[in-house]
Amino acid sequence: MPQHSPDAPDEPLDTRAWFGRDAPLVLEIGCGTGTSTLAMAQEEPEVDVIAVEVYRRGLAQLLSAIDRESVTNIRLIRGDAVDVLESLIAPGSLSGVRVFFPDPWPKARHHKRRLLQPATVALIADRLRLGGVLHAATDHPGYAEQIAEVGDAEPRLKRVDPLGELAISVIRPTTKYENKAQDAGSTVTELVWESRSERNRP
């Protein structure tokens, strides 16, 4: 873990020093056990990935996979995604942010706990560079509607076709969780935005 986590988690990250190179940078929020993280990093070895997760068990599983597969372009942070965005990520520094299957908090009284609220999406937009991508996926219809509404309302983002030419790949592997959701009749919604604001230029 010390080889793959920041030494000073309360200071802005020097990602060039951390990864040992200057490369496009992606932040994955809520990586879970890292199935998508690992597969997408292997498909894009030219991209550096920071995976953020609260739960130690998920990070441990991803760390084991990184070691087993000898993957060099993934780093890990255990913590709250908003804290990471606010304190560790510089404005205009990210080529992409991935948020796959965030907790939908399905009860109405808990909707305020959902991650992708206007303030968080605005923070993500600020951290994206020009042409950077926000890619979200959910199998909860109500949350999909909310994410779409919030993303479309952010003036620095423009909804784009996932099949178009983008700064990073938006092709995800299918996880065990997703297979279970589809078997239960759930439909996965993919939402992709691109940063179109000059204010995001580093």
Give residue-wise pLDDT tens across range 136-190: 999 999 999 999 999 999 999 999 998 889 999 999 998 777 777 777 778 899 9
Nearest to 121 by CA among 109, 134, 137, 111: 134
Domain CATH number, residue 78: 3.40.50.150
- What count of Cα atoms within 13 Å lies in the side-chain half-sphere of residue 124? 32
pLDDT, residue 3, reads 62
Spans of the chain below 50 pLDDT = 200-202
CB 157 within 8 A of CB 151: yes
* Domain count along the chain: 1
Q: Tell whether pTM > 0.85.
A: yes
Q: Which among 80, 103, 126, 183 is annotated as catalytic?
A: 103
The C-alpha atoms of residue 79 and residue 52 are separated, in whole angstroms, by 7
Give the single-character DSSP code of 54: S
| Structural domain includes residue 13 | no
Give the single-character DSSP code of 4: T
| Structural domain includes residue 78 | yes
Structural domain for 194, as ranges:
22-200
Has 103 been annotated as catalytic? yes
| Structural domain includes residue 52 | yes
